[in-house]
């Protein structure tokens, strides 16, 4: 249990950063409820066991046993992950899984999640292009719907090129259609 406090601080700081971003775009409920499953024993104990401080403990668990039990639990309970939005395709055969479009409010939360994760793991080295760089490294192999990917990549490019405040405005206006919203 040596890493319990460190892991708790890491996930709580991440949750705080996501909430802060969600609040800036008007997603108050999502900001408050974001990633609560990380405090469940199924996810928390894995996080403690595989804690390293500079990357997700789920990756270490995956390397150790070949999969991440915490991630399998997490992605099925949190709609801001594109993996949640994979279903059987009606016209693609009975055993074919396909990505489906994510609702925009969850894309917005996913953006805040990616920014927060980059800030937590990159620390003082964080720059606004980090979330985009992370996406671009794997975008050709991830099972994400093309419309979801287009929106995500567009917003992360705005972050990389124009900064957080411009990103928040675009998320409010383009994804959430809150043109008159004032944080």
Q: Residue 182 domain-assigned?
A: no
Question: Alpha-carbon dihedral of residues 135, 141, 142, 147, nearest 10 degrees?
Answer: 80
Question: Inter-axis angle of helices 130-138 and 104-122, to 10 degrees?
Answer: 110
Residue 182 has pLDDT above 60, yes or no: no
Helix (H, G, I), strand (E, B) or coil at 134: helix
Q: Residue 20 domain-assigned?
A: yes
**Residue span of the structural domain in which 41 resides:** 4-175
Cα separation, 3 vs 157, in Å, equals 35
Run of H or E residues at 2: none
Q: Residue 160 domain-assigned?
A: yes
* Between residues 178 and 87, the one the model is more confident about: 87
Q: What are the CA-CA distances from residue 51 to residues 23, 38, 42, 56, 121 (Å)?
A: 28, 13, 14, 8, 12
Model confidence over 112-144: pLDDT tens digits? 999 999 999 999 999 999 999 999 999 999 999
Residue 174 has pLDDT above 90, yes or no: yes
Whole-model pTM: value is 0.94
Residue 181's pLDDT is what?
A: 44
Model confidence over 140-162: pLDDT tens digits? 999 999 999 999 999 999 999 99
Cα separation, 53 vs 129, in Å, equals 21
Work out how many domains the chain is built from and give that number.
Answer: 1
Closest to 84 measured CA to CA, from 105, 100, 68, 96: 100
What angle (nearest 5°) sits at the alpha carbon of residue 165, between those of residues 160 and 169?
A: 105
Model confidence over 22-62: pLDDT tens digits? 999 999 999 999 999 999 999 999 999 999 988 999 999 99
Residue 90 has pLDDT above 60, yes or no: yes
């Amino acid at each position: 249990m040596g890493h319990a406090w460190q892991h708790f601080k890491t996930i709580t700081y991440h949750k705080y950063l996501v909430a802060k971003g969600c609040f800036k775009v008007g997603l108050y409920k999502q900001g408050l409820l974001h990633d609560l499953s990380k405090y469940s024993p199924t996810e928390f104990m894995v996080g403690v066991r595989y804690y390293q401080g500079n990357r997700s403990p789920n990756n270490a668990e995956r390397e150790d046993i070949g999969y991440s039990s915490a991630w399998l639990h997490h992605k099925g309970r949190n709609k801001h992950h594109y993996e949640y939005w994979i279903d059987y395709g009606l016209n693609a055969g009975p055993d074919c899984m396909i990505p489906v479009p994510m609702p925009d409010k969850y894309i917005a939360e996913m953006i805040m999640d990616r920014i927060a994760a980059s800030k937590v793991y990159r620390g003082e080295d964080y720059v606004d292009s980090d979330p985009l760089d992370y996406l671009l490294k794997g975008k050709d192999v991830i099972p994400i719907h093309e419309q979801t990917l287009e929106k995500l990549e567009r917003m992360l490019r705005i972050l990389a090129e124009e900064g957080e405040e411009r990103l928040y405005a675009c998320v409010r206006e383009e994804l959430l259609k809150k043109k008159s919203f004032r944080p």
